Structures are given as structure tokens and as C-alpha cells.
Structure 1
Amino acid sequence: MYLHTDQLINEIVVDEPDPAAANALQEGLSGQFGEMRTMMQYLFQAMNFRGDPSSKPYRDLLQGVGTEEISHVELIGTTIARLLDGSPRYNGKADDPIDEPGKGGATPLKIALDTGNIHHYLVGAQGALPVDSVGNPWSGSYVYNSGNLPLDLLYNLMLESTGRLQKCRIYEMTDNKAARSTVAYLIVRDQAHENAYAKALESLGVDWGKLLPIPKTNAEQFPEVKRLVDLGLQSVQYTFDAGNTSQAAKLYRGASPSNDGTELTTEVMPEGHPAGIAPERREEFSPGLDPELLALIQATAEVELRDADETGS
């Protein structure tokens, strides 16, 4: 059972629309090593987990990381939507918000023909899609769940390392502040998850030596990443366990396997940041609500609220 808080796990810095950056971020969302894959892989591993009571810390660790990945899907998907929102930069004529086809004027969605992913406009109404950066749909075949704990943990560490590598590349593809704020956060959290799976594998006898983190990057060269690393975000793991019964802290503790001098700690969840709702996009007929219908819905809601208050009193 999950509870949703109407907040984003990290702030998305406001910047100009950038459909090309949005398309690059699609790889981080729905590519083979993206957030949708990590979310589904860890949650399936947690749901299918088998073992005696002593193995509960491993199941709790998978559950906690998998639950955090839900918020990462929300964060990167919302970032894509904000990078796309308003990107046509066309609001129509003063007397005709959407030009009539064939009248010789500018067309509202012309940008869709030569910038980014045409499906962002044609199918998604300037929103994120469950596809990678070249339009391939996300596939459940990406999910790895062998049932063997050491194998699954090794695969998960590889997944986090590859995802972090790709996000470092995405960061260097764009200088858009909105895109970079999200990518920087995910780079740091991917390292936290590398640490989580590395610690779990250490408890099973693995000696990492100097291998981690993967890839080895100078995080300080990315200002947004340095700020988060200075806060120690790479060394904390969230349990998202409202009942406070998670045993993940039995694994996620001690010196960081990334050899950065930090100690690993666990928390229930981060504070979060306001989410908000994107504005209406007339050129996409989104959401396409009829003013008269809206007025009727509002009037009906007011009557129902009034009746509920009278009944309650």
C-alpha cells in the first residue's frame, strides 16, 4: 500500500522550454536503464522476495529503493512536461487562439515537425511519454528478477551505475537549468543506490576495494551535483516506511563503499518540494474542458459540499 504526498522529491528549477532536452531526458525516464526500469525491477524483486526472517533487511532495502524510484519517475516525467510546456511559443491571433488550417498564417505546432520528438506534440500534448529518446516504447522485458539474491543485487548495482553514467552524459548535453536540476539530483541518488546495493553485497562477502563509485566522475565539476554531494545526499537512503518497521538500516550503515569519507544513514523520506499543475494548452486541446461544463461541475460541487456540511451539523 502506498501513500502519495503532493510534492516532488526535488525542486525543478524554472527555465525556458527546451524540447530537445526533454527528448534526451526520455532516455533517463523510459530507456533500458531509466527510472521506469529501476522502479519496476526493484518492486518486482521485493514482491517476489523469498527467505526466512533474517533476510528481511534485504527485502526492505529493495522495497525502499523501489518506492523512491516511483518518485524519480514522477520527477523526471514532470521535468519533461515542463520542458515541453509552451515550447511552440505560439498563442494564436488575438481574435483566434487557434488559427484555421489553410489560412496562410503560422501554425501553432509547427515546431513538432523539426524539434525533439514529434510524439511529444502529436500524442502526448506536450507531456512525457513511456518511450526512450528515439521513441522505442518502454518494455517489461527490461526487468531482471532472477530470484537469486546475489545475482539480483549485482544486476541492480550495474543498473544504477549505467543509469548514472547516462545521466552524466545527459547533463553535458544541455545547459537548461530545469533539466540539469533534475539530472544532477538523479546522479547523486543513483550513487546512493549504488552504495545501497554495494553494502548489501558486502554483507554477502563482496570486497569492493577501490572499484566504486561507477563511473568515476569528478562530481564537483557539476555545480548542481556538488551542492547535493556537500549535503551528503549520496550517503542517505530512504525507507518510505510509514510504520517504521523497515530493517534496511541493518545493511545501509557504516563507511560508504564509495570511499568518500562519509557514513551511510537512513531516513523515512525527504521533505519534498511543491509540485503544482501546468497551465492549459489551447493548441493541444488540453485539457479541453468546456466552460459551461466547468461551471456546472463547480455549481454541483458547491451544492454537494453545502449538503455535506448541513448533514454533518
Structure 2
Amino acid sequence: MYFHVQQLIHEITQDEPDPAAANALQEGLGGQFGEMRTMMQYLFQAMNFRGPAGKPYRDLLQGIGTEEISHVELIGTTISRLLDGSPRYQGKPEDPLDKPGSDGATPLNIALDTGNIHHYLVAAQGALPVDAAGNPWLGSYVYNSGNLVLDLLYNLMLESTGRLQKCRIYEMTDNKTARSTISYLIVRDQAHENAYAKALESLGVKWNTVLPIPKTNAEKFPEVKKLLDLGLQSKQYTFDLTGHSEAGKIFQGMSPSNDGTTLDASEQAPAGAPLTIAPERFEEFSPGLDPELLALIQATADMELADVDAMFGPVKSGVVSSVDAASTGAKGEKTSQ
């Protein structure tokens, strides 16, 4: 079973919209070596795992694959924010990102100057499961041989190539929103490289004679260095609510990165960062929920909350449901962005 904590795994720094950066980030989401690939590959390897004696390896794959789900959410949300910059029909002059669509201005004219027009035509200014060239993500990317050593070698290569590509994307843009997410993923890719390298070492495979972790010099990026100084490249989370993960039997000892750090698999999950819902985009004809639909959803939510109260006790006072928040926004009151 999977549980969703309504927080992002890492904070996204606020900056101006940048459709070009969003287009480049699509490679890190839906490309051959992107986050959708790692998520699906590791989860399928974990689901198809055979051999109870190898449970620590299965748990390692499961934990990393689960983290990759949050990476898909993080990079997809980042792409959406980078695209959130075209003017509205009824925009206000004081809006920080929008301009009034007055004097015959075309609200979506920005789409004609971007690399991926599908972000506007079919995605309502949001992320898509495609690469930077607009090619759809393919299930054939997933490698699951059934041979543990082959799978681990392939996973190490996948993380190494993904980190290499993200270093290139970092140097394509100075947008703070893009770089905050890219930097985090660069460091976490290194953590996953360490995990698969350590797993191979435990099986007697001399991986570093044929497949060294690439020297990308990512530590020169200030946002990356800050995370490396926190030791984030040497942590691996279990995402296990029951405490049954045995991944720590593998992810321990000195880091294969030879950076003097010790691997640590003691944490269940990172603290996370606030997750906010973007405002409606009226020029995309996606204005959100009308009052009638909101009322219907609230009635359904009340019934579901009653079942939750009966099973787990009443929800703490002061907690506002997402439907309440959406209703507040629909009435025109200011919501947090």
C-alpha cells in the first residue's frame, strides 16, 4: 500500500516563469533517463523480485522506487510553475506574473514562442509525460531482467546518466525555480548511485573498475553544494510505515563516492515542504470548480470524514479540508500561493 503526505519532498524556490526551462526539464521527467523511468523501473523490479533471502535488495529497490514517485511530483510541479506566466483576460496590473489582456492582447501568445507548444495546447500550462522534444514516455524504457546483478548495474548506469543530464540542464538556465529542483535531484541521484554501488559491492561485483560514478563536478553548483554539505547524498529513506525494511543492511558503511561520508538509512522520510495549489488559468478555459460542484464535493467529503472520525477519532480542530480551501478561493478571497 502507498500513502501520500500532502507535502513536496523538497521546497521549490519562487522565480519568474520560464517556458524554455520547463521544456528542458521535461527531459528530466519523461525522457529515457528521467524520473518517470526510474520510478517505474525500480517499482517493477521490486514487484517482480524473487527470493526471500534477498529481501534487503528488494527493500532497497522498493524504497528508492517509492521516493521516485515524489520526484515525479516535484519535477512535474516545477514544470507547471515555470509555465504559469501568460496573462489572463481579466488580469490586474498589480499581479506579479500576469498582465491584463487589454487592447486586443492575445492571452496565450507566449505559447507561440516556446519549444513545446503542447504545454499550452493540451496540458493547460502544465507538465506532460514527454521528453524535451515532445516524444511520449515509453514503457519499453523499463529494464527488468530478473537477474539481480544485471538490474543493479543497469540501475547504477541509469542514475549516473540521469545525474549527468541534470547537470547539463542546470547549466542551461539560471532560473531559481528550475535550479532548486534540479539541484535536489542531482544530489538524490548521487544517493541512489551510492545505494546501487553498495549493493553491487555486497555481491562481490567490482563495479568501479568498469562503471565509475561520473565526475560531473556538480559540487561547484552553489545549490548542490549546500545539499551536499548537509550529507543528503549519503541518506536513503525507507518510506516504510511498519519498520520492516531491511535496506539498511546494504546502505551502510563508507560512501562509494569516496567523499568521506557514512551511508545512513535510518530515516523513514524527509521532512518535506509545503505543497500549494496553483491558481486557476482562465485563459486556458480551466477555471476550477463551480459552486454547485463544490457543494457536491463538500457533501461527499463530509460523509468520508464521518467514516474517518468513526475509525480514527475526530479530526483536529483548525484543520481545513482542501475542499474548504478551494471554496474560499472560488469566492474570490485571497489564498496562499
Map residues 244-259 of structure 1 onto 2, 5 A cutoff.
244-259=243-258
* Structure 1 residue runs without a partner (length 5+): none
Mean CA deviation greater in 156-165 or 214-223: 214-223
Map residues 287-298 of structure 1 onto 2, 5 A cutoff.
287-291=287-291, 293-294=292-293, 296-297=295-296
Q: CA RMSD in A?
A: 2.7
Give the secondary-structure state (helix, strand or coil) at the position aligned to 1:255: coil
Map residues 4-15 of structure 1 onto 2, 5 A cutoff.
4-15=4-15
Confirm whether residue 153 of structure 1 aligns to residue 152 of structure 2: yes
How far did 1:27 drift?
Answer: 0.3
Confirm whether residue 260 of structure 1 aligns to residue 259 of structure 2: yes
Structure 1 counterpart of 2:86, from 88, 95, 98: 88
Between the two structures, name the one with larger relative contact order (CA 8 Å, sep ≥ 6): 1
Matched-pair contact (CA < 8 Å) for 1:90–1:108: yes
Runs in 1 of length 4+ with deviation above 6 angstroms? Answer: 301-308
Amino acid in structure 1 at the alignment position of 2:31: G
Tell me the equivalent position of 2:23.
Answer: 23
Q: Deviations over 1:54-103 (max 9, x none)?
A: 21000000000000000000000000011111x21344477xx997xxx9
Tell me the equivalent position of 2:324.
Answer: none
Identity %: 74
Amino acid in structure 1 at the alignment position of 2:133: V
Q: For 1:284 and 1:185, how far apart are their aligned partners in 2?
A: 31
Q: For 2:298 and 2:45, how far apart are their aligned partners in 1?
A: 47
Q: For 2:259 and 2:304, how far apart are their aligned partners in 1?
A: 56
Tell me the equivalent position of 2:41.
Answer: 41
Matched-pair contact (CA < 8 Å) for 1:49–1:147: yes
Matched-pair contact (CA < 8 Å) for 2:25–2:79: yes
Change (3 A) 1:300 1:224: same
Tell me the equivalent position of 1:64.
Answer: 63
Give the secondary-structure state (helix, strand or coil) at the position aligned to 2:264: strand
Q: For 1:283 and 1:158, how far apart are their aligned partners in 2?
A: 43
Map residues 186-225 of structure 1 onto 2, 5 A cutoff.
186-209=185-208, 214-225=213-224
Change (3 A) 1:211 1:268: farther
Matched-pair contact (CA < 8 Å) for 1:65–1:193: yes
Q: Deviations over 1:250-292 (max 9, x none)?
A: 000001111111110112110100111000111011244334x
Number of aligned residues: 303
How far did 1:105 drift?
Answer: 1.3
Q: Deviations over 1:183-241 (max 9, x none)?
A: 00000000000000000000111234577763202233100000000000000101101
Matched-pair contact (CA < 8 Å) for 2:11–2:273: yes
Q: For 2:45 and 2:301, how far apart are their aligned partners in 1?
A: 46
Change (3 A) 1:23 1:54: same
Change (3 A) 1:255 1:210: farther
Change (3 A) 1:64 1:299: closer
Tell me the equivalent position of 2:181.
Answer: 182
Q: For 2:223 and 2:115, how far apart are their aligned partners in 1?
A: 25
Change (3 A) 1:113 1:247: same
Tell me the equivalent position of 2:118.
Answer: 119
Q: For 2:269 and 2:175, how far apart are their aligned partners in 1?
A: 28
Q: For 2:305 and 2:218, how far apart are their aligned partners in 1?
A: 56
Change (3 A) 1:258 1:283: same
Give the secondary-structure state (helix, strand or coil) at the position aligned to 2:196: helix
* Structure 2 residue runs without a partner (length 5+): 93-98, 315-337
Confirm whether residue 143 of structure 1 aligns to residue 142 of structure 2: yes
Amino acid in structure 2 at the alignment position of 1:6: Q
How far did 1:6 drift?
Answer: 0.3
Matched-pair contact (CA < 8 Å) for 1:210–1:259: no
Tell me the equivalent position of 2:330.
Answer: none
Q: For 1:257 and 1:93, how far apart are their aligned partners in 2?
A: 53
How far did 1:7 drift?
Answer: 0.3
Tell me the equivalent position of 2:323.
Answer: none
How far did 1:296 drift?
Answer: 4.3
TM-score (norm 2): 0.83
Matched-pair contact (CA < 8 Å) for 1:254–1:263: yes
Matched-pair contact (CA < 8 Å) for 2:34–2:162: yes
Matched-pair contact (CA < 8 Å) for 1:30–1:137: yes
Tell me the equivalent position of 2:169.
Answer: 170
Matched-pair contact (CA < 8 Å) for 2:194–2:234: yes
Change (3 A) 1:278 1:206: same
Give the secondary-structure state (helix, strand or coil) at the position aligned to 2:236: strand
Q: For 1:285 and 1:108, how far apart are their aligned partners in 2?
A: 12
Amino acid in structure 1 at the alignment position of 2:257: S
